[in-house]
Each structure stands twice: as C-alpha cells, then as structure tokens.
Amino acid sequence: MPQTTDSTERFGARADAYARARPGYPESAISALSQALGLQPGATVVDLGCGTGLSCEPFLRAGYTVVGVEPNAAMRAHALARLGTYDRFTVVEGSAEATGLAGGSADLLIAAQAFHWFDVPAARSEALRILRAPARAALIWNDRCAEGSPFASGYEDLLRRYSTEYLELRHRHGRNDRIDEFFGRGRWQALTVMHHDELDYARLADRLNSASYVPAAEDPRHEAMIADLQQLFTQTAHQGAVTMAFETRVIYGEITGGHALP
C-alpha cells in the first residue's frame, strides 16, 4: 500500500510511535550552535515542522522561548502534552512555507529532521519575513549510523529491503544544493555531535514504525518486516537492548536577502 505523498499528513497515523521512540537532540549540539551564532538568553526560536516537540525541548531547557510550527494535528497534540508545562512554549498550526507568525518575530529559525520536506524557495521567503536581522537559521538532522556494528548494518539492510523511499529520503538529507538554495551558496557552516540510544525491543519496534517510509500496519509487508526486526534484535541485543548510534548534524548560518543562487 503506498504511503501518502502529502508530507503534512504522512506522520499522522505514526504520531504515537514517533512520540514514544524517536531520539532527542543532544544538549551539547544546541550549546555549540548557540555559541556559534551568539544567540542571546531569552531569544525566540521558531521550530518549523516541530512534530512532537523533541527538537523544541533542548532549546526550552537552555532558557529560550520556543514557538513550534506544525501542520499535523496529532503531532501538535503530542508536542503540547510533552511541553505544555513550559510557559515559554507555544505550538501553532502552520507550515514552513506559511507559518502564520508575525513578521520580525523570531531570532532563530530551526528545522530538525524536516527540511527535506520543504519547498525551499517558499520556506526561504517565509524565513526572511519572520526573522529579525540577522536572519539566523539552523537545519538539524539525527543521522543514524548505518555501519559500525552487526545491529547497525542489519537495521540498514532491513530498511533497504522493505522501503522503496528510504534511500531517496536519506539522500535528500545531504543535498548541498538545497542547503545552498536556502542560505545562499557557501554561506553556511556545519557542526556534528555523536550520541546514541539504548533500545529495548518495544522501543525499537516503535522507532521503526515511526518512519513514514516503511510499511504501515495494514500493509501486507508489515508482518514480515516485524518478524525480521524481531530476529535482528534476538541476534544482536546485549542485556535486553541494542545500541543505535547517531551523528547529529547541524547546518547553520545567516540567510542572505534576495535570491540565494544566481
């Protein structure tokens, strides 16, 4: 059964698994980004495609005001449930291309695990509208390490076997042409931080099922995929858990005015 092609809706049925199992973002990466950009205490951060609020949380803990922008109602509900106790957090219905926020209302724009879904020219125009000068932005990804252990290589193989979209979406994460189009050619920098999660089987299954590109529960391939996941876990788990390693990649800079590319 094909996945929905509407990026604003494709996570709705997976929101619960997403909230339970997706990895967070290391505070060391947020601290390094804040220092690199000279972000002042109390600054307002707008998180485009904030999902369940995972990427908002470290900025809130660091003392910033955060506005999450999320088109999917189920994901917004999880963000509120997760972060509603922070008085500096709000979440609104909107998209990267049309946030609904006031002009000049943000000090930093971020997009975590979401930029590859954006219409880049439209998102760039909206970013320049809502950002105060200097127009600072950061694109953040948790890139799972596909090698380095029997579990890592086995999980990568499972995704390749059961998803026709996986490689295409993974490739889009690293497309410098889209990043250049957003910031301006060569007008961005990068920092990386390594981290990892320890996952029991239930959380591992939720993490797999949270991916929009794998077969959903009603898909005939889903049962075989889960059987293969169970076998992989049995073969590679140590003391009831497997280790999933990530490189958190942060692309940051100031968005130039006008057209990004000649």
pLDDT tens track for 12-64? 455 676 678 788 999 999 999 999 999 999 999 999 999 999 999 999 999 99
Report the distance separating Cα 216 and Cα 209, nearest Å.
7
Q: Residue 242 falls within a domain, yes or no?
A: yes
Asked if residue 50 is part of any domain, the answer here is: yes
Asked if the model's pLDDT at residue 212 lies above 90, the reply is no
Print the domain residue range for 71. Answer: 12-254
Q: What pLDDT shows up at residue 23?
A: 87
State the DSSP string of 31-69. Answer: HHHHHHHTPPTT-EEEEET-TTSTTTHHHHHTT-EEEEE
Whether 2 maps to a domain, the answer reads: no
Q: Is residue 39 situated within a structural domain? A: yes
| 125 within domain boundaries | yes
Burial of 220 (0-12, 13-18, 19+ CB in 10 A): exposed
Q: Report the domain count for the chain.
A: 1
| Residue 7's pLDDT band (cuts 50, 70, 90) | very low
Distance, CA of 37 to CA of 57 (rounded, Å): 19
Write down the pLDDT at residue 211: 86
Give the list of residues 6+ apart from residue 227 with CB closer than 8 angstroms, or none: none
pLDDT tens readout for residues 132-180: 999 999 999 999 999 999 999 999 999 999 998 888 777 666 689 999 9
- Do the Cβ atoms of 144 and 207 come closer than 8 Å? no
The CATH number of the domain holding residue 170 is 3.40.50.150
Structural domain contains residue 259: no
* Tokens standing for residue 180: 């250049």
Strand partners, 101: none
Q: Is residue 7 part of a domain?
A: no
Examine residue 234 and state whether it is found in any structural domain, yes or no. yes
**Rg, Å, the chain Cα set:** 18
Helices (H), 144-221: 150-162, 166-173, 176-183, 201-209
